[in-house]
């Protein structure tokens, strides 16, 4: 039985009260604000809660102070109740409130790549450094990967103010296809949830599969709110693939697909991207349906493989929140620390200074290993890992890619 969360709750309250008190006591040269804009209402609430926990942990480590500057943190919600997930009007409002708040120097967000497209032009004009813990759509930073006018359209002033600490889908898709080849897959049936993230990675997987000789026997967009996928399973059993690859997340029914595959009598393998690398995926699918034949790719190393700062973070997280660290918590923590370190090294403690410092991040010793930002604002870290599920737990298989 998991420890009752009451203990964790008291811990959180005391520590955050302590940190605010501590900040007041020493004389501070002023306050700098870091905002985060993530969908806190609706189905993505679980993943964004772990990200916010990671950010708060990073802040509590420097107990809310860098070089005498008090660091304030605001957890903004870019979702609206009646939409149930991110809302462009609310995201624009968050970005505009960041530009209007003179003390804001860092914007951790967004969770959905679609929301990033709304916030990036606004923050670019304001010159605020934007670090995403989760956007993986290649077109946001890499010319030629998205539309003809991407990413220039997100940078009206021409300067680069958008960075991300997660590898983009074009990397993860290729690496996943290579891994499938190594697992001896001949025929693959590809599904995608028709969302920006899922479809992007599924298309990269398809192109890579055809180029390395895996036969793509089917490519289907699924309905992420369907009750079950029994008719789909019958359709794919007719072409008998060795592997079913689903580009999607736990929220877009990855668990339900796993269940229906087994219930429909499909014996082959099932592979999913890092959108499903969370305990909720195993809970949703039921471990009996996943054991042994399910593979998950993930940008960076999983919690138990972390060494150095990663291991320190994992233990601090367990101590602070009383529950196992999730993959997204590492992303949140990393993004916050990048901004905090930038504030420390920034020549002038304002937006331009912090932006320049973030851009100049080199050989950052982070939770996801040692990496630096390239000219597009992407992480140079090409470390990806492959996991499988054995008796209800994620088990590390091997390092993939660079």
Partner 1 sequence: MRWRPGPIVCIVGIAAILPLVELVLPPAAHVSEAVRGVFLYAILALGLNIVTGYAGLLNLGIAAFMAIGAYGFAILTCEIYPFQVGFWPGILLTLPIGALAGFLLGAPTLRLRGDYLAIVTLGFGEIVQDVLKNLEVVTKGTQGINPVPAPAIGGTMWTADDEYKWYYLFLALLVVVIVAIRNLERSRLGRAWFSIREDELASRAMGIRVERIKMLAFSAAAALAAFAGGLSASVLSSTGEPSNYDFQVSILALCIVIVGGIGSIAGVLVGALVMIGLNSIVLVKATAALEALGIGGSANVLLSPNNWKYLIFGLALVLAVRLKPNGLVPPRIERRAT
Partner 2 sequence: MEPYEVFLQQLVTGLSNGMIIALIALGYTMVYGIIELINFAHGDVFMLGAFLALTLLGALGMEAWAPGWQLAGVVLMLVSSAAFCGSFNWSLDRLAYRPLRRASKLSLLVSAIGCSFICTNLGLFWGGAPMEVFAGGVAAAAPKDFPQLIPQYNLLGESAIRIVPADVAVLAVTLPLMIALVYLVKRTRLGRAMRAVAQDSTAAALMGIPVDRVIGTTFFIGGALGGFASVVYALYNNTIGFQMGYRAGMDAFTAAVLGGIGSLPGAVLGGLLIGCVRSMSDQYVELRWTNTIVFGILVLILIFRPSGLLGSTRREKV
- Considering the complex, what minimum distance in angstroms separates the CB of residue 1 from partner 2? 7
CB under 5 to 8 A by kind: which of partner 2, partner 1, none does 259 bind? Answer: partner 2
Q: Which does 284 bind (CB under 5 to 8 A by kind): partner 2, partner 1, none?
A: partner 2
Task: Write out the residues near partner 2 by the rule CB under 8 A.
Answer: 1-2, 4-5, 42-46, 81-82, 84, 194, 220-223, 225-228, 230-232, 234-235, 237-238, 250-251, 253, 255-256, 259, 262-265, 278-280, 283-286, 323
Alpha-carbon span 164 to 291, nearest angstrom: 32
Closer by beta carbon to partner 1, 20 or else 372: 20
Closer by beta carbon to partner 1, 18 or else 212 = 18
Residues 180, 235: contact at Cβ < 8 Å? Answer: no
Element housing 65 (H / E): strand 65-66
Torsion of CA 77, 320, 330, 301, to 10 degrees: -150
CB of 184 to partner 2, least distance (A): 24
Which CB, 79 or 343, lies closer to partner 1? 79
Residue with smaller CB distance to partner 2, 2 or 362 = 2
Dist CA 243 CA 217 (whole Å): 10
Nearer to partner 2, 141 or 249 (CB): 249
Minimal distance, residue 228 CB to partner 2, in Å: 5
Cα distance between residue 393 and residue 384, in whole Å: 19
CA nearest neighbour of 375 among 165, 214, 163, 85: 163
Half-sphere exposure of 3 (CA within 13 A, CB side): 12
26 binds, among partner 2, partner 1, none (CB under 5 to 8 A by kind): none
Question: Which residue number, 52 or 204, has a Cβ lying nearer to partner 1?
Answer: 52
Shortest approach of partner 1 to residue 11 CB, angstroms?
A: 9
Residue 80 interacts with, from partner 1, partner 2, none (CB under 5-8 Å by kind): partner 1
Strands (DSSP E) found in 182-316: 187-192, 215-221, 243-247, 269-272, 294-299
Interface with partner 1 (CB under 8 A): 5-6, 8-9, 12-13, 16-17, 20, 40-41, 45, 49, 52-53, 56, 74-75, 77, 79-85, 87-90, 92-93, 95-96, 99-101, 114, 117-118, 121-122, 125, 137, 139, 146-149, 153, 156, 194-196, 199, 221, 321-323
CB of 119 to partner 1, least distance (A): 10
Residue holding tokens 């102070």?
65
Pick 46 or 153: Cβ nearer partner 2: 46
127 three-class SS: coil
Q: Are 154 and 146 in contact (CB under 8 A)?
A: no
Element (H, E) at 366: strand 364-366
- Residue 203 Cβ vs partner 2, minimum distance, rounded to whole Å: 14
Both structure tokens of 350: 């304002």
| Nearest distance, CB of residue 158 and partner 1, angstroms | 14
Q: Measured from the CB atom, is 83 or 382 closer to partner 1?
A: 83
**What is the three-state SS of 299-343?**
ECCCHHHCCCHHHHHHHHHHHHHCCCCCHHHHHHHHHHHHHHHHH
CB of 28 to partner 2, least distance (A): 36
Beta strands in 222-266 (DSSP E): 243-247
């Amino acid at each position: 039985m998991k420890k009752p969360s009451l203990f964790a709750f008291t811990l959180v309250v005391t520590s955050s009260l302590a940190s605010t008190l501590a900040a007041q006591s020493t004389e501070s040269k002023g306050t700098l604000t870091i905002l985060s804009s993530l969908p806190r209402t609706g189905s993505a609430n679980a993943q964004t809660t772990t990200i916010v926990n990671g950010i708060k942990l990073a802040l509590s480590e420097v107990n809310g102070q860098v070089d005498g500057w008090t660091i304030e943190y605001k957890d903004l919600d870019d979702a609206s109740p009646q939409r149930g997930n991110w809302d462009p009007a609310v995201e624009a409002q968050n970005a505009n409130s960041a530009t209007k708040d003179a003390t804001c120097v860092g914007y951790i967000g967004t969770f959905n790549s679609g929301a990033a497209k709304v916030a990036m032009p606004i923050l670019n004009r304001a010159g605020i450094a934007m670090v995403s813990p989760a956007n993986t759509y290649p077109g946001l930073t890499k010319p030629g990967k998205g539309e003809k006018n991407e990413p220039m359209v997100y940078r009206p002033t021409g300067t680069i103010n958008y960075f991300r600490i997660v590898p983009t889908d074009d990397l993860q898709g290729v690496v996943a296809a290579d891994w499938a080849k190594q697992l001896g897959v001949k025929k693959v049936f590809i599904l995608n949830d028709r969302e920006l993230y899922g479809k992007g990675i599924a298309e990269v997987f398809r192109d890579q599969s055809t180029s390395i000789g895996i036969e793509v026997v089917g490519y289907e967009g699924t309905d992420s709110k369907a009750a079950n996928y029994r008719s789909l399973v019958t359709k794919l059993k007719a072409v008998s693939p060795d592997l079913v690859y689903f580009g999607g997340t736990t929220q877009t029914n990855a668990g339900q697909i796993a269940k229906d595959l087994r219930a429909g009598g499909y014996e082959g393998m099932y592979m999913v991207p890092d959108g499903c690398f969370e305990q909720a995926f195993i809970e949703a699918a039921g471990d009996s349906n996943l054991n042994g034949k399910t593979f998950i790719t993930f940008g960076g190393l999983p919690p138990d493989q972390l060494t150095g700062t990663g291991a320190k973070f994992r233990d601090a997280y367990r101590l602070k929140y009383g529950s196992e660290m999730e993959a997204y918590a590492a992303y949140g923590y990393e993004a916050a620390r990048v901004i905090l370190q930038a504030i420390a090294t920034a020549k002038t403690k304002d937006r331009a200074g912090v932006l320049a410092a973030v851009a100049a991040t080199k050989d950052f010793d982070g939770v996801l290993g040692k990496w630096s930002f390239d000219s597009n604002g992407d992480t140079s870290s090409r470390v990806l890992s492959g996991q499988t599920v054995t008796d209800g737990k994620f088990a590390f298989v091997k390092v993939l890619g660079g």
